[in-house]
A and B are shown apart, each in its own frame.
Chain A
Amino acid sequence: MNAQNPSAVQKPQAAMIADCDIHPIWNKPKDLYPYLSRRWQEHIETFGLSHRHGWQTGTPYPKGNASGYRNDAWPEDGGKPGSDFNLLKRDLLDANNIELGILNATGANGQGFQNLECAAAYCTAVNDWLIEEWTAKDPRLKASIIVSYEDAPAAVAEIERRAGDERFAQVMLLSRTAEPLGRRRYWPIYEAAERHGLPIGIHAFGFGGYPITGGGWPSYYIEEMVGHSPACQALLTSLIVEGVFARFPKLRVVLIEAGFAWLPALGWRLDKLWKTLKAETPALTRKPSEYIRDHIWITSQPMEEPQPREQLLDTMDWIGWDRLLFATDYPHWDYDDPAHSLALRISDENRRNFFRNNAREVYGR
């Protein structure tokens, strides 16, 4: 970039870190055509993508910034933020000393498409694209396997296709599914992930067809954004009370991009309810908070910002410093900067675990 368009990078991050939520994106569906059969190319040209929402392109609520991106992440070639490997390498990986970056290809990625065959083909194409365009270019990058979770057999087939490939680090689902994620239709996915030692990453967002609140569609994007945390609380409740962790004792779940400050209070509420209502869910042999403690990892972004900021440390203590994973969410607008988003006095050990070691351990990459 020249003097009129200087780099957005301010101050490099000193220590090596792991970034557990990076969003690469293709510029247009055509970019995925090399990985799609002629039949699906023609289908997409003719009928478009079958989201569980009403727009041909874009998302139900207009965001606060253009398409929800950092304004300083647009490539000069006019492509989308997150589409240019070299820019991402310079502004994110190199600038922040990232040694492990988890690629979560959200966007219209096939997950949740109503046309299940198209969904499966599209997810496979995205995974091929992730290998070809991203992980092949930089060994620091590992991808999440995109699976068409509403069609468990297809999702399992995709897991089987990728599981031996070290360039993939986890299986990715989205939070807003057609049914709560603890329901049995999704269990084959957990079974396959557990069998292959892959964590299940559940990224906030997606479109399951239902309003983001159980009381109807809100008016504003800010409501949807705030609502992703209750949505994740509902899906985690489902995973626990349906007995998913009792059934799959080695399953590890990473909750991504829904913040984290809500997690302790949900555990307290579920523990209290379990005491009263455990007759309903005999598969649960332990307190819900114990399943959370053993099976849940959670990414930090968008990090809650109390005033005073130190109060966040109470919350992080309650969750456990071995379960929190740092994430930037680059190139999205609610990006957390590794050098500045947690400007608090933290022990060196906790800092290392939060910024790096926990991720290396859970992903084994």
Chain B
Amino acid sequence: MSRHVVSSVDDFPPGTRRLITVKGRPIVVFNIEGEYFALLNRCPHQQASLFHGTLTGLVASSEPGCYKFEREGEILRCPWHGWEFDIRTGQSYCDPSKIQAKSYKIEIEDGASVVKGPYIAETFSIVVEENYVVLEL
């Protein structure tokens, strides 16, 4: 397990997403209203790029004719076949126990602790006063 600096928080604003490669793995990182989430950039179905997915809500229903649009912005819909994944857990809606998008732990660390290491951040120069998005893999 190692920790990888994705970006400074200032460079990775809410409402954006980023495709990175860590240990050879393509990973998509989202900033949703200040919270960061990371998923392997492969839909478990046919490996579509989840970076190209749509962030939407969950259409829930208690009975026919009832539509509740919940958890707006927290459901990622695959760009191909429309399978839905919970951005927080990677779980699919259609078969949550068996089908999951692989998710990774993301944390915000201050520059001082990042400088202390051990972090992998080849492409960044770390500034102590800033905060950083850190992915554990």
Interface residues of A (CB under 8 A from B): 3-4, 6, 8-11, 64-65, 70-72, 333-337, 339-341
Contact = CB atoms under 8 A, between A and B. Distances in A.
A8 B41 CA distance: 10
Interface string B22-57: 000010000000000000011001111101111000
Interface of B: 18-19, 26, 41-42, 45-49, 51-54, 79-82
B49 A337 contact: no
A337 B52 contact: no
| Interface SS majority for chain B | loop
Given A8-B79, A65-B79, A71-B80, 4 more contacts: A8-B48, A70-B79, A337-B46, A337-B47
Contacts, number: 52
Given A65-B82, A333-B80, A6 B48 contact: no
A71 B47 CA distance: 14
14 contacts: A6-B51, A9-B49, A10-B42, A10-B48, A10-B49, A71-B54, A72-B48, A72-B49, A72-B79, A333-B82, A334-B80, A335-B80, A340-B45, A340-B46
Contact of B19 (A6, A334, A337, A340): A6
Contacts of A333: 80-82
Nearest to A337: B46
A64 B54 CA distance: 12
A3 B54 contact: no
Contacts of A65: 79, 82
Contacts of B46: 335-337, 340-341
A250 B41 CA distance: 48
Nearest to A302: B81
B80 A10 contact: no
Contacts of A10: 26, 41-42, 47-49
